[in-house]
Amino acid sequence: MELLQETGYQYIEGGVCAANGFVANGCHCGLHPDPNKNDLGIVYSEQVCHAAAVYTTNKVKGAPILVTQKNLAAAAGCARAVIVNSKNANTCNADGEEKARKMCELTAKELGIRPEEVIVASTGVIGQTLPIEPIASGIAPLVSGMSPKRHGQAAAAIMTTDTVKKEVAVAFDLDGKTCRLGGMAKGSGMIHPNMATTLNFITTDAAVSHAMLQKALSDVVKVTYNCLSVDGDTSTNDMVCVLANGLAGNTEITEENEAYETFKKALYLVMLHMTKMLAADGEGASKLLTCKCSGAPDADTATAVAKSVIRSPLVKSAMFGSDANCGRILCAAGYADAEFDVHKIDVSLVSKAGVIAVCADGNGITFSEEKAASVLAEDEIEIRINLNQGDGEATAWGCDLTYDYVKINADYRS
């Protein structure tokens, strides 16, 4: 997958520890039956951070979400650590909040900080009691092994059905100081707008006020994670969280000035790439799908169309089969919750192998099936829709629907 190159930004190694002052670790504490699978991860900042977060819009919220919300409120938007486990979502459990608070207390004690400075997250099966013992015995070695080099261990700890670790980081300048921003994400199934659609932890050494950090995150989420759909299911435990410790030494960003835009672009690049990685690694996915809608009466209409097409099981199945079924694309555009003239739509399919137009003025057109098949044989496909009635545009990301999606989800709990 190609990284979007922008002048002034350089992709670097280091993931969630790319920024100065952050350490991390991951280990197998015993929640997962496979002793080689990390199931407990930590991120820690030597300096207190401003913290911003966005959460799932599902009414059924995981206990860790509720505890994190309370902690951030109690600590006035500051935090120093993230503790996260996989295999069990600690959601829809009678003792869920108690266990989530316990995770914060255990972590805080070991780190010598306050429990409300800890962000807690869990991902995995919903509705099964979380065993706290493995976590309680795992935290001490987890903390003692923390280092800037162990970011990959943390990234591995949050994986569930993910097949690849997801880490991205960039370096950029603010006031002549080098700043770094990087993160790790997990997510494969149960991914859909609207909300963070993933567990994603981002750290930066840039100095940014809590309010500006939250604003940047909320804005960027709209055009990245909220335009991502693997299966239409909005998870109960989704959270994106950004920690900023200010160690880069730039003048703190407290208003929407040029420095804010520079910082926000860095956040966008990292979250955009994470979004694409999540889509490409969607459960069972064999192809990354991008739907770009342009020419819409406004941006909201473009977003509605792009999301509707990327979500359609019929479009997703056709892409899996390399079938240039433009009717399904038009159909999905047609039931998008937005008003526009369907008689002006042009559609083409784009990949490294070329571009093929399949629809003009809302009607199917004749095209070379051979060329279409070669375009769709690639593993990154763009569905390009021009509504030809304005300047609104938007992009949404997703993946194809495959046998493996069904296989993975037919027996997820075992």
Query: Site residues (CB under 8 A) for a copy of itself?
Result: 57-61, 89, 91-94, 96, 125-129, 189-190, 192, 231-236, 311-314, 317-318, 320-321, 323, 325-328, 330-336, 339-340, 342, 358-359, 361-364, 401-403, 405-414
Q: Least distance in Å: CB of 303 to a copy of itself?
A: 16
Q: Least distance in Å: CB of 386 to a copy of itself?
A: 15
Q: Least distance in Å: CB of 310 to a copy of itself?
A: 12
Residues 16 and 155 sit within 8 Å (Cβ to Cβ): yes
Residues 301 and 338 sit within 8 Å (Cβ to Cβ): yes
Q: Which CB, 135 or 387, lies closer to a copy of itself?
A: 387
- Pull the structure tokens for residue 115: 């429990």
**Which DSSP string corresponds to 397-410?**
EEE---HHHHHHHH
Q: Least distance in Å: CB of 322 to a copy of itself?
A: 8
Measure the CA angle with vertex 55, ends 146 and 238; round to 5°: 65
Angstrom distances, CA of residue 321 to CA of 145, 189, 314: 46, 20, 11
**Is residue 197 annotated as a catalytic residue, yes or no?**
yes
Q: Least distance in Å: CB of 263 to a copy of itself?
A: 32
Q: Which CB, 266 or 332, lies closer to a copy of itself?
A: 332
**Which DSSP string corresponds to 250-299?**
PPPB-SSSHHHHHHHHHHHHHHHHHHHHHHHTSTT-SSEEEEEEEEESSH
Number of Cβ atoms within 10 Å of the Cβ of 112: 8
The 3-state DSSP class for residue 380 equals: strand
Nearest to 134, CA basis, from 159, 106, 95, 109: 106
Strands, E assignment, 63-117: 78-85
Q: Which CB, 346 or 382, lies closer to a copy of itself?
A: 346
Q: Which CB, 141 or 321, lies closer to a copy of itself?
A: 321
Q: Which CB, 205 or 231, lies closer to a copy of itself?
A: 231
- Strand 199-204 and strand 177-186: pairing? antiparallel
Q: Least distance in Å: CB of 288 to a copy of itself?
A: 17
The 3-state DSSP class for residue 383 equals: strand
Separation between Cα atoms, residue 315 and residue 29, nearest integer Å: 41
Catalytic residue among 197, 234, 236, 395: 197
Nearest to 266, CA basis, from 10, 45, 78, 38: 10
Q: Which CB, 179 or 319, lies closer to a copy of itself?
A: 319
- Strand 392-399 and strand 288-296: pairing? antiparallel
Q: Which residue has the tokens 């955009």?
A: 272
Q: Least distance in Å: CB of 227 to a copy of itself?
A: 17
* CA torsion through residues 121, 125, 127, 131, sign: negative
Q: Which CB, 61 or 151, lies closer to a copy of itself?
A: 61
By annotation, the residues acting in catalysis are 197
